[in-house]
Amino acid sequence: MTKADHCRALKIRAEDILKGVAHLQGEVDAQGKTSNFAHDALKYVCLAVYYCNSVKSLHQFAKFQQYVPYKALLLVTAIIHEVLCIYKMHSFIPNESKLSSEALNSAFNMMVPKLEAVLSHAYHVPKLNAMLKEWANLGMMGYTPISCPAAAQESNHFDIILD
């Protein structure tokens, strides 16, 4: 594969992930239902950013000790979305590349209705809340992912599925 082919493949893959919002979907649960806002990348970034050992870490605040707040989850989702957009455009992250506040705000606002759909669904809201509590518990116990499992490297194309 040439460098040009590799770049083209990365751009196409990033576009496919963004089209299907695959960066949000986690594993299907025991009931065969989709897990939204549950991708391992979201979990790992939330744990690394909000629950690190830094003095400025947000895990010091009571709300973060109980669960990962929805807005914090949406911020991580928006950041991952924008990184994928950079890959879609360049096939790599240029040295001079910066995430703009306007782009992050737009991505954040785009995700709000998707989260609201999950939060208004009788089956999915308790599942999401339980997951966010689990992530906070892991973070408070000092869990940090060392490497991504193979399942995190695979992705399915999807949109928010309220089955």
Kindly report, residue by residue over 95-147, the tens digit of the pLDDT.
677 788 898 999 999 999 999 999 999 999 999 999 999 999 998 888 766 54
The whole-angstrom separation of Cα 74 and Cα 131 is: 14
SS (H, E, C) 23-40: CCCCCCCCCCCCCCCCCH
CB 49 within 8 A of CB 56: no
pLDDT, one tens digit per residue, over 53-77 is 776 678 788 888 899 999 999 999 9
d(Cα 146, Cα 159) in Å, to the nearest integer? 29
Neighbours of 4 (CB within 10 A): 9
Residue closest to 72 by CA, chosen among 97, 47, 101, 39: 47
Indicate the pLDDT class of residue 155, thresholds 50, 70 and 90.
Answer: very low
Q: Can you tell me which residue has the tokens 């690190």?
A: 52
Query: Cβ–Cβ contacts within 10 Å for residue 15, how many?
Result: 15
d(CA 131, CA 97): 33
**pLDDT over 60 at 156, yes or no:** no
